[in-house]
Amino acid sequence: MENIKSYVQQHKDRFINELIELLKIPSVSADTAYSQDVIDTAEAVKESLTKAGCDLVEICDTPGYPIIYGEKIIDPNLPTVLVYGHYDVQPPDPLELWTSPPFEPVIKTTDIHPEGAIFARGACDDKGQMYMHVKALEYMVQTNNLPCNVKFMIEGEEEVGSASLAWFVQRNQEKLKNDVILISDTGMISNQQPSITTGLRGLSYVEVEVTGPNRDLHSGLYGGAVANPINILAKMIASLHDEDNHITIPGFYDKVQELSAEERAEMAKAPFSLEKYKNALNIADVYGEKGYVTNERNSIRPTLDVNGIWGGYTGEGAKTVIASKAFAKISMRLVPNQEWEEITELFTKHFTSIAPAGVTVKVTPHHGGQGYVTPIDSIGYQAANKAYTETFGVPAIPVRSGGSIPIVALFEKELKSKTILMGFGLDSDAIHSPNEHFGIFNYLKGIETIPLFYKYFVELSK
Ligand code: BES
Ligand code: MN
Ligand code: MN
């Protein structure tokens, strides 16, 4: 595949401009105000797959947003790669912290991306990374380098829990049959050191509501005599971690897969600078579970975090009030072999039980999913490693990520195939944050590396 590099060089301006067009459509799945934009994005993805050379592309209706299915079958006897990605994006707020508007993509340079990065919501997560696969397909079809069959499944609800995708996968097992699933929706260590994600955390996401008196009260007349739901909620949340930052929910750690000393020693070999980590976040020190280092705390250990908390008076000035209700959104990141539904139950039971008599507690589960780990001796992993080694000049390092793509565990269960997570983003690309961006270097390297995965996967499958 000598000419992939030159093909990318020749077409890079168009590749960048096409991605910029896709990024202009605000496909925010969480907010119904954007629903027409989400649907328009599905249409744009369909068109791009048709142009890139799929023989069949369909917009598949679901109870939620549509899923785009595309395929190019060259020989039923050859292996089939199933590419998964998502075209929906996170909400862009807080808007005032963006240095340029989130849906008006611009190229700017940064210390880490001296050759430029595209700034826009979804640039890295996941429109940019998904589109690398569309352009890699274009190259393979245009130059007669497609060595096997390929299927695409691009969804529009990943950022809100992939409910329709689970529905779709359960109903289309035959259509989605494949030998390996390929996803670019994760990151790598740095532009000099590629890595392959071998694990993802699971998730249990809940909302809690604490109710005290039947109405908001004067905090002088009633203060001190009744339970203040906000005080109580804060106390209850604080009690969910002990002084060593272990989670106190009974049974929470029962199924956690502990790593051996050898596995932890292997993990510690990945390049990591605590000083740089702290400097990048402008914090004096890190914080977390006793007995584990930073790279373990954010990958192989489960966590519990409040994502939002509200109640009472938050407007201008002061209002002396005891609110009737207080709320919080809480996420628990889980590791193999914790069962997310079981953890949701344990949380609910415990959180309800620690409430004092003066309040009532309601726990509403949002969504969740299982974690994932994949071995490094599979053909898929070896093929990915060969591809990275060729384009980066150094082998990839296996890394367990702290993020979640719950659908990956479902793919294994329903479609019986392994997923290879070939990510090209960087942690500093600010996904889900203001000023999300994706390096031009990363985008083009991804397009170069993906066809090599196909090549080596087919070679190693023989
Ligand atoms: N692409 C991310 C997940 C990710 C990013 C994994 C970087 C590993 C490295 C995905 O779009 C995402 O944001 N997932 C959500 C979970 C989902 C159920 C809303 C997450 O991890 O918070
Ligand atoms: Mn994503
Ligand atoms: Mn995301």
Domain-wise residue ranges, the chain = 4-200+371-461, 202-256+302-369
Closest ligand to C-alpha of residue 161 is 1
Mutate to test the pocket of ligand 1, among 405, 432, 433 (most ligand atoms within 8 A of CB): 405
**Nearest ligand, measured from the Cα of 436:** 3
Does residue 284 contact residue 275 with C-beta atoms inside 8 Å? no
pLDDT digits (tens, 9 = 90+) for 139-180: 999 999 999 999 999 999 999 999 999 999 999 999 999 999
Q: Which long-range contacts (CB under 8 A, 24 or more apart) does 226-231 make?
A: 226/322, 226/358, 227/356, 227/358, 227/359, 228/322, 228/323, 229/311, 229/322, 229/323, 229/324, 229/325, 229/326, 229/359, 230/311, 230/312, 230/323, 230/326
Rounded Cα distance, 67 and 339, in Å: 27
Model confidence pLDDT, tens digit, residues 270-285: 899 999 999 999 999 9
pLDDT at 171: 97
Checking DSSP bridges between strand 325-334 and strand 202-211, what pairing results, if any? antiparallel
Tokens for 438, please give them: 């994706």
Atom index in ligand 1 nearest the CA of residue 159 equals: 19
The Cα 79–Cα 366 span in angstroms is 37
Condensed to tens digits (0 to 9), the pLDDT of residues 2-58 reads 589 999 999 999 999 999 999 999 999 999 999 999 999 999 999 999 999 999 999
Distance CA 389, CA 419 (A): 19
Ligand 1 atom closest to Cα of residue 427: 7
Cα 38 from Cα 311, distance rounded (Å): 32
* Ligand 1 centroid, distance to 128 Cα (angstroms): 15
Ligand 1 site, residue 88, Cβ cutoff 6 A? no
- Residue 173 Cα to ligand 2 middle (Å): 23
- Per the confidence metrics, is the pTM higher than 0.85? yes
Task: Express each pLDDT in 385-401 by its tens digit.
Answer: 999 999 999 999 999 99
Tell me if residue 97 falls in helix, strand or coil. Answer: helix
User: What mean pLDDT is predicted for residues 240-257?
Assistant: 98
Ligand 2 center from residue 125 Cα (angstroms) = 5
The percentage of residues in the chain with a pLDDT greater than 70, rounded to a whole number, is 100
Is the CB–ligand 1 distance for residue 436 below 6 Å?
no
When pLDDT is averaged across residues 237-247 and rounded to a whole number, the result is 98
Ligand 1 neighbourhood includes 406 CB (under 6 angstroms): yes
* CATH architecture of the domain formed by 202-256+302-369: 2-Layer Sandwich (3.30)
What are the structure tokens assigned to 345, written together?
A: 């139950």
* Residue to mutate, 89, 154, 159, 200, ligand 1, most ligand atoms under 8 Å from C-beta: 159
DSSP string, 384-413: HHHHHHHHHSSPPEEEE-S---THHHHHHH
pLDDT in tens, 66-82: 999 999 999 999 999 99
Write the CATH number of the domain with boundaries 4-200+371-461. 3.40.630.10
In this predicted structure, what is the pLDDT of residue 1? 57
Shared fold status for 4-200+371-461 and 202-256+302-369? no
**Termini Cα distance of the chain:** 19
Residue 424: band (very low, low, confident or very high) from pLDDT cuts 50, 70, 90: very high
Cα 420 to Cα 129, 192, 353, 384: the distances in Å are 14, 20, 42, 8
Q: What is the pLDDT of residue 245?
A: 98
**Closest ligand to residue 90's CA:** 3
> In angstroms, rounded to a whole number, what is the distance separating the alpha carbons of residues 73 and 78?
9
Q: Tell whether ligand 1 has an atom less than 6 A from the beta carbon of residue 105.
A: no
Q: Is 198 in the pocket of ligand 1 (CB under 6 A)?
A: no
Res 436 pLDDT > 70: yes
